[in-house]
């Protein structure tokens, strides 16, 4: 649950040139989040002593979109830079067997989000879609200057992460390649080598086709996940499965 505090969030969009697809924006938010019922009372992980989380956020961003006839149907790029100060940040820290909710006194976050998307027509009935995203997030504990974890990255938060996909749309089949990346993280508030979790990259492929008749449709999708067959860890001591395959059916009346 997120509740807006006074004053309400303000957003200032601006279009410098009327004929160009370029926009600038700025915003400020002063908000707080009340712990959910599960955060407070759920079996084992709940913490009834949780405090509400309050955040002051500043954001500057820009978007640019354009089409290039006969070359690129559409291209969109957006970039946002933000600065947050969070008091009593609510986080979940996994232990050996369970996650436990807790507050981090003060967290300072500096971040950048970059997103890109494009659509190209290769020929009649043949299209190419490309998307990409990159996130930089420096989220540091600034509760106590004399603490050993002063200016340490908060647990399970990578500084660098991103994703990308390429989809080829054919008259009889769709083929998609997906990529996920996360840099090193730490399983505890102290950023020591003992707590370090290695970065990981996940590659996957999907084949799909939709069969239609009258108002009904059947979508069949085959997925090959973790093509690199790496047992990387998202959570410490719980390695992800290696290469695996899935088949999905989606039927609409």
CA atoms of 187 and 198, how far apart (whole Å): 11
CB 39 within 8 A of CB 50: yes
Share of the chain above pLDDT 70, in %: 94
Per-residue pLDDT band for 124 (boundaries 50, 70, 90) equals confident
Residue 245, pLDDT > 50, answer yes
Average pLDDT value for the chain: 90
CB 105 within 8 A of CB 88: yes
Residue 243, pLDDT > 90, answer yes
CA atoms of 223 and 203, how far apart (whole Å): 11
Residue 6 pLDDT: 42
Residue 12 pLDDT: 63
Residue 96 pLDDT: 66
Q: Is 39 left (phi over 0), alpha (psi -120 to 50) or beta?
A: alpha
Task: Name 130's Cβ contacts closer than 8 Å, sequence gap at least 6.
Answer: 116, 117, 118, 119, 120, 164, 165, 166, 167
**pLDDT tens, residue by residue, 168-204:** 999 999 999 999 999 999 999 999 999 999 999 999 9
DSSP for residue 79: E
Q: Hey, which bits of the chain come out as E strands?
A: 2-4, 10-14, 22-33, 53-68, 72-94, 99-123, 126-141, 160-169, 174-182, 185-186, 196-197, 200-213, 216-225, 233-235, 238-239, 244-252
Higher pLDDT, 92 or 1: 92
Residue 120 pLDDT: 93
SS3 category, 193: helix
Mean pLDDT for 73-81 is 95
**pLDDT tens, residue by residue, 86-103:** 999 999 887 667 788 999
Residue 67 pLDDT: 85
Between 12-16, 41-45, 71-75, 181-185, the lowest mean confidence (pLDDT) is in 12-16
Query: Considering the domain 2-252 in this protein, what is its CATH number?
Result: 2.40.170.20
Between 1-5, 113-117, 169-173, 211-215, the lowest mean confidence (pLDDT) is in 1-5
**pLDDT tens, residue by residue, 4-37:** 444 444 566 777 777 778 899 999 999 989 999 9
Token pair of 228 as six digits = 């690199």
Taken in order 174, 231, 137, 47, the sign of the CA dihedral is: positive
Scanning the structure block, which residue is given the tokens 């660098």?
Answer: 160
Residue 5 pLDDT: 42
Of 99-103, 146-150, 233-237, the range with the highest mean pLDDT is 146-150
Taken in order 224, 226, 231, 233, the sign of the CA dihedral is: negative
Higher pLDDT, 124 or 158: 158
Mean pLDDT for 64-76 is 87
CB 104 within 8 A of CB 91: yes
Residue 238 pLDDT: 85
């Amino acid at each position: 649950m997120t509740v807006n505090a006074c004053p309400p969030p303000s957003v200032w969009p601006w279009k410098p040139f009327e004929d160009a697809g370029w926009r600038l924006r700025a915003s400020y938010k002063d908000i707080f989040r009340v712990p959910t019922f599960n955060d407070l009372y759920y079996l084992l992980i709940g913490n009834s002593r949780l405090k509400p989380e309050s955040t002051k956020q500043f954001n500057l961003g820009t978007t640019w979109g354009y089409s290039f006839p006969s070359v690129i149907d559409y291209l969109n790029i957006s970039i946002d830079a933000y600065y947050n100060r969070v008091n009593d940040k609510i986080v979940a820290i996994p232990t050996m067997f369970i996650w436990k909710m807790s507050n981090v006194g003060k967290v300072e976050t500096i971040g950048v989000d970059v997103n890109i998307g494009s659509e190209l027509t290769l020929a009649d009935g043949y299209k190419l879609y490309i998307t990409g995203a990159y996130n930089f997030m420096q989220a540091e504990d600034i509760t106590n200057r004399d603490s050993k974890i002063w200016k340490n990255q908060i647990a399970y938060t990578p500084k660098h992460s991103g994703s990308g996909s390429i989809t080829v749309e054919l008259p009889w089949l769709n083929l998609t390649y997906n990529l996920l990346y996360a840099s090193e993280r730490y399983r505890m508030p102290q950023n020591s080598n003992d707590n370090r979790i290695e970065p990981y990259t996940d590659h996957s492929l999907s084949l799909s086709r939709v069969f239609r008749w009258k108002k009904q449709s059947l979508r069949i999708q085959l997925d090959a996940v973790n093509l690199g067959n790496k047992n990387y860890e998202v959570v410490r001591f719980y390695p992800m499965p290696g290469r695996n395959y899935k088949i999905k059916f989606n039927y609409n009346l």
